[in-house]
Structure 1
Amino acid sequence: MSLLRNHSVIDHTNFLVWQQSQTSSNHQQPPSQTTMLNGFPIKFQLRSLRKVEFYEGDSPEPHASFENTFRKRVSAWLSEEDKALLRDNGDRFCLYHDLGIPETYHCPVLQKIASVVASARGSRMPIVVDLMHTVKRVIKIPTNHDLVFSRNEDEADVDTVLLHSIETYESKPIPAAKSSVRALEKVRFQGGSNSIQECTICMEEFRIGSEVTRMPCSHIYHEKCIFKWLKMSHLCPLCRYPMPQHS
C-alpha cells in the first residue's frame, strides 16, 4: 500500500540582463581595440536554489526545511556571428543547455540580450546575464493520521514513502546519537536502473562516482543532508529505520 502524495512543486526562473558600466569594470583589463570592434564579452551568473519544506496541517511555519544553493559563472564571447543568431531566437546558441537553464527561458533571455546589444551603440563593455532558478517542494503532513491508500502497490514512489515517514514523526523529534551519525558509511555512488537516482532530502541527483552517505538500512543520501536530518529525527526519511537515539 502507498500513501497518496500531498505535495506541490514550485519551479521558476528570474533573470536580469544589463551592460556593465565603465565604472564597475575599471579595475579589469580592457579587451584590445580590434577585439572590441568584433563583439561583446558576456558573463553568465547562474544561481540554482533547491528547497524542501515540511508543513504540519495548516501551520504557516514549516516543521523542517532543507535548502541548497549552487552557483555557476561562465564567461563567453558574443561575436558578430552570435549576434545574428540572437535574432533567430538562438536556435544554435547552445551555451544555455550547458548551463542547465530551463528551455522555456532560452528565448526570453536571448531576446533580452539582443535588446541590450541593440542599445549598446558604440560601447563594448561586458554584458551580464544574471539568472536565479528556484525549485521548491512543499510537503504537507496530515495531523489526523487518516491515510489514503492506493490499491496498486506499484504506485508507491519516493515522495509518498517520504511523506509516510515524516507523518509519523514524534511531536518532540528525537535526534540520532552523534556517535552513530559519525559512524555512517561513506560509499561511491554507482548508479544503476534499480537504484534511487537522487537524494530524497534535497532532490538533487547523485553524480556517478560521487561520495554519498549510506544508512544501515542501505538508503543513501548526501552527507550534509542526512546529517542535518538526523539532528532532528533518528529515523531514516525513507523507511523509518531507527538509528540509536541521542540521550
Structure 2
Amino acid sequence: IWASKSKGARYTFNHGALKALNDGKQMRSDWTLPICSGRRRLRVNGKKAHSTQKPEALLYRVILAASNPGDVVLDPFFGTGTTGVVAKVLHRHWIGIEREADYVALARDRIENVQAQPYDTAVFDVCDKRRLARRVPFSSLLENGLLQPGQTLYFRSDRSQRAQIKPDGRLRVGEFEGSIHQAGRHLMGGGPCNGWEHWYFETVEGALHPIDDLRAQLRATGGGHPMHSDQETGQ
C-alpha cells in the first residue's frame, strides 16, 4: 500500500537499490526468504519468544526499498522489534507499537544491543540520483542539435543492429517504428528495455557512446549544447 500526505506528494521507492541487491537484475515482486531460525530466533527458557518473528532479511529489503536514512519507519505491530533492529542498522528512525509487555521488553533489549556502523552519507545513501534528475525526452536531443533526423543509432553498440531516427523522435528498425524503448524491446524479442542505456551513437572519431551521455550533457547545460555526434554524415 502506497500512501502520501497530500495529492502529488512523492513516495520513496529505491528501485536501483533493490536491483543492486539482486546482483544487477530487477527484483521480482514475490520474494523467497528463509524463515527466522538459528541464532536470530529469540528464545526464552528454550522456547520461541514470539510465534511469528519475522526474518531480518525481509525487513531489510522493505526498509531499504521504501525509505532513506533519517526517515521514520512505523511498525504498528512491533512484536520483538525486528523492524527497529533493521532500522537502526540502516540509520532510520523508528516508532514501534506493541501491546504485549513481554515483547516490548525483548524488543528494547534486542535493539539496544545492536551496534550500527557510523553513519556516512556517501555509504548509506542509496537513492538513485538519476530518478530525481530533470526528465529529458529523447526528442529533446533532436531539438537541441545533439542528434539529427536520419542519423543512425546502434543497439548495444552492435553495428549490425541499427535504427534510423525519425524527425518525431521515433526509431525505425526495418519496418518497425517506435520509441527508443519500444525499438529496443523489438530487437530483444520482448521484455523490458531502457533505450537510453542500449542505443549508441557514433562520434566524429568513429567511437560509439550510449545516447544517455547526450542526455547527461543536456541536463548539465539546461539546454542546447554543441554537437559531438557525427551529424554531417548521418551515421
TM over 0.5: no
Q: Which has the higher contact order (CA 8 A, sep 6+)?
A: 1
TM-score of the two chains, using structure 2 as the length reference? 0.26
Q: Which structure carries more strand by proportion?
A: 1
More helix by share: 2
